[in-house]
Chains A and B, each alone.
Chain A
Amino acid sequence: MAMRDARREPPDRDRQPGATDSQHGQQVEAERDRNATLPAERDRAPERIQMASDQPSHPEGALQAASPSDVAEPIVVENTLWTAASPNAYGGNQPASITHLRELDVEDKSDNARWSGALEIIPTKADYVLDLIRANSLWPLLSGLACCAIEMMSAATSRNDMDRFGMFPFRASPRQADVLIVAGTLTTKMAGPLVRLWEQMPEPKWCVAMGDCTCSGGRYKRSYAVVEGIDRIMPVDVYVPGCPPRPEGLIYGMLKLQQLIIERRGHWPDRQVGPSVPAGV
């Protein structure tokens, strides 16, 4: 998660050359020009505006590098070891020449919560490790809509004790949670707040539909007030049918979710919203 903080406040790259001597600045600039493949970046590079804030605040020469060779260039190691199965995975095949988090700003803001772009150059299978960590510390959101919520609580307490499998105690705030267990009947009045909850959760996030009501409308399918399945308004990763499912059923679903997180590396930005239950069922 420290990664994302860094991304939000990227260290100011352009300020660095100003602090060193101008010759080296140009050298860095030329180097980057060669590497840069993104058009936006190339256009921006030649005419750097020297704002007041770009000037060094310390006296001339105080922090200068002794010689140009003292300033280390970032080491670029291309990822030649493996490729993602989906072309859209890991930031949509960003060129591996991006060397700084700042340069990620030119891509669109959608966050697929991968170590994409710059960090793809790390020639380890960091994603495996990350997914393993994520899968084994799921933090579900404490949000019950109806009857199924009682069984969800039962799954989390003494008798069934979901904590055993690395699903942490329920969080009350969507901003701290990464699994939304929708437990209970979703009515049209509640649909708006539920989508809002889902959007408030930070990526990466997963959704578990618990109970017949959330899978397809269940026993209230023909009611005038009920959404026939939450997959009409949000993507769903795991369906746990039953009215209500037993707590063991929910735990089984969560174990499946863990498996899915580990196996579906990088694919889950492709999730679709829309009914996966055939019409007329």
Chain B
Amino acid sequence: MTADATRIRSLDDPTLFVDTPATIYDAVPPYPPRSEREAEFYHLRDGELLINLGPQHPSTHGVLRVVLKIDGERVVDLDPVLGYLHRGVEKICENGDWHHAISNCDPLEYVASMFSEAMPVLACEKLLDLEVPRRAEYIRVLAWELNRIASHALFVGWLALDLGGLTPILYSFIERDEIVEMLAALTGQRLLFNYLRIGGVNGDLNHEFMSRLGDWMSHAAEQLDNNQKLLNENEIFVRRTKGLGTLDRETALRLCMTGPPLRATGIPYDVRRAHPYSVYPELEFRIPTREEGDSYARYQLHLDEARESIHIIDQVLHQMPDGPVMAQIPRLIRPRPGRAWIAIESPRGQYGCFAISDGSDQPFRLRIRDPSYFNLQAVGVLTPGNLIADTMAIMASLDPIMGGIDK
């Protein structure tokens, strides 16, 4: 394909077309290098080869494209190309009012959208200085932790899938589907919940949700142990992940990484503890950490966190207060002009939002800080020198979600 392949034209109707950037097909960009780094990357030494990983590749978890520079089976260098899922979410949020922003932020982190939809909600509440009813806070924590377990279950399945094992993902999806069906009984949706509201949540706990939750809680820990046994005692899995992609603390901090990849290096940074929000100060939980910083540690850490989440859910159910689930707020919300920064701990790390309000009913700017974006940077540090097949294991263990990265 040449550089002028910029336009995809419909075969039948010549008036229909889609403009695409010129470089989509080319491993080597047709333009002169824009930076020293690019010039160095696209200069091939003897025996080196450029290959494309993605944008359609089962192990890139979406539409990430990585140009790998390989020498034989070894990856020498790599150049990620982002933007294949850029949907302009932040811009769309500016065009609707604050309530619309909730559902527009939903598909950012589509595996755990209870967290990404909290962004405009919490930011707006901070701008409004709004007191949220305690029952609503508890329900939020309940929904968050359930969603965290669902997301971590998928992580385990995906990691094994990218290493070539099909079985674990079947078990992961059993767990995940149980949880999302439960949340569907609560929110009406399986994936993009659109449940949190400015000033509370949309609807109280209902009977079907509670009975499903009770069923699930009775075997949740056991299910987790079973899923863990599947991989923990699998020699192939352990040998392929142990010692692979070892990250040290300095690098992790330098790359602004948060969440499980950071905690797997031994730094107990968790927003729930470091900058408490909602009712987390009233709950008792530990921040699991690991020292090794490799793929296996990250995998272990996810399981530990899921177990902690079950513990949190248990406490939430016991401490759940009575009362309303929505604060009394006007229908048309006009927060004071100003800026607000909020952050919560999503399954992938610190999910933050910097919001600017100009006093109207629309957000002036919502800037979402997605942890996957920062965690994904580690691929560039960890992959060179490893085999191509190990690139997948490293990438999967960092657990990027392209929806949030490309926004």
Contacts and interface: CB of A to CB of B under 8 A. Distances in A.
State yes or no: do A and B come from one complex: yes
Interface of A: 142-147, 149-151, 153-154, 157-160, 169-170, 172, 174, 184-185, 187-197, 219-220, 222-227, 232-233, 243-244, 246, 272-275
Interface string B12-24: 1100101111001
A241 to B, nearest CB: 14
B20 A147 contact: no
A144 B111 CA distance: 13
Given A154-B176, A223-B92, 10 more contacts: A145-B85, A147-B191, A158-B171, A184-B62, A188-B21, A192-B20, A193-B84, A225-B87, A232-B10, A244-B192
B58 A172 contact: yes
B58 A187 contact: no
A159 B174 contact: yes
A151 B111 CA distance: 10
B24 A189 contact: yes
Contact of A187 (B13, B86, B169, B174): B86
A153 B62 CA distance: 12
Nearest to B55: A193
B103 interface: yes
A157 B177 CA distance: 10
Nearest to A191: B18
Contacts of A273: 10-13, 16
Interface residues of B, number: 48
A218 B90 CA distance: 16
Given A189-B24, A190-B85, A150 B111 contact: yes
B190 A151 contact: yes
Contacts of B10: 232-233, 273-274
Given A192-B20, A193-B56, A224 B88 contact: yes
Contact of B110 (A146, A158, A170): A146
A246 B55 contact: no
B402 interface: yes
Contacts of A172: 57-58
B39 interface: no
B370 to A, nearest CB: 14
A187 B191 contact: no
A187 B87 contact: yes
A143 B19 CA distance: 22
16 contacts: A145-B63, A146-B107, A146-B402, A147-B107, A147-B113, A150-B191, A157-B170, A187-B86, A189-B21, A190-B55, A194-B56, A220-B88, A223-B88, A224-B91, A274-B12, A275-B16
B359 interface: no
- The interface centre, meaning the residue of B55, B87, B113 with most chain A CB atoms within 10 A of its CB, is B87
Contacts of B19: 188
Nearest to B95: A222
Contacts of B63: 145-146, 190
Contacts, number: 135
B104 interface: yes
B85 A227 contact: no
Contacts of A195: 8
Contact of A188 (B12, B13, B20): B20
Nearest to B194: A243
- The interface centre, meaning the residue of A146, A172, A273 with most chain B CB atoms within 10 A of its CB, is A146
B349 interface: no
Nearest to A169: B166
A91 B86 CA distance: 42
B8 A191 contact: yes
B72 to A, nearest CB: 23
B18 A244 contact: no
B396 to A, nearest CB: 14
A191 B110 contact: no
Contacts of A142: 58
B85 A185 contact: yes
B88 A151 contact: no
Interface string B52-94: 0001111000110000000000000000000111111001100
Given A142-B58, A223-B88, A225-B86, A274 B16 contact: yes
A191 B170 CA distance: 31
Contacts of B400: none
Contact of B24 (A157, A158, A192): A192
Contacts of A185: 85, 87, 107
